[in-house]
Amino acid sequence: MTETTENLSGEKAPVHWVAFFVALIAAPLIPAVLAYGLTALLEHFDLAPSGLPVLAGVILMAPAFGGLGYLVVGGPFLWHAARSKTGFAGAAFAANIASTPLVAIALFLLPGGSTDVGSMTGFIVGFGSIFAPLWGAIFGMLYPRLCNVRWLP
């Protein structure tokens, strides 16, 4: 289940397909699940600050707004980072910036979409500038560990 590729220095780095896709899918979901769990726990004990449910809602909705772009554009960038074994958060941020024209085109083509495509693109890419490096860093923590799991095919 590994594909051997060469990075820029000529060293071969195995890319474990199963570990790659598990980490790719899990990285956006982990902060969402943690935000939901922490908010529910703190609200149960009446310890939640006033803005926490709003922040948790933003974190919970982030995969819905940016998940497709993360998978389609971020996946190849993270694949390249997995080959070289460096810069996962930077690769995810670069993918977010590279996806800006695609976001604008998608918003323009939406039926009944917003007439203010520029500000909506800025909104989505702006939030992506926060979440893409976070998801890339989580991917970078998960992927090497999953490569060493014996029960993965």
pTM over 0.95: no
Is residue 3 pLDDT above 80, yes or no? no
Mean pLDDT, the chain, whole residue set: 88
Is residue 69 pLDDT above 80, yes or no? yes
| Structure-block tokens of residue 98 | 């590279």
Q: Are 121 and 1 in contact (CB under 8 A)?
A: no
| Structure-block tokens of residue 146 | 């999953």
| Structure-block tokens of residue 149 | 């799991």
Q: Which residue has the higher pLDDT, 13 or 42?
A: 42
What pLDDT shows up at residue 12? Answer: 52
**Nearest Cα to 103, choosing from 129, 79, 80?**
129
Interatomic CA distance for residues 32 and 39, integer angstroms: 11
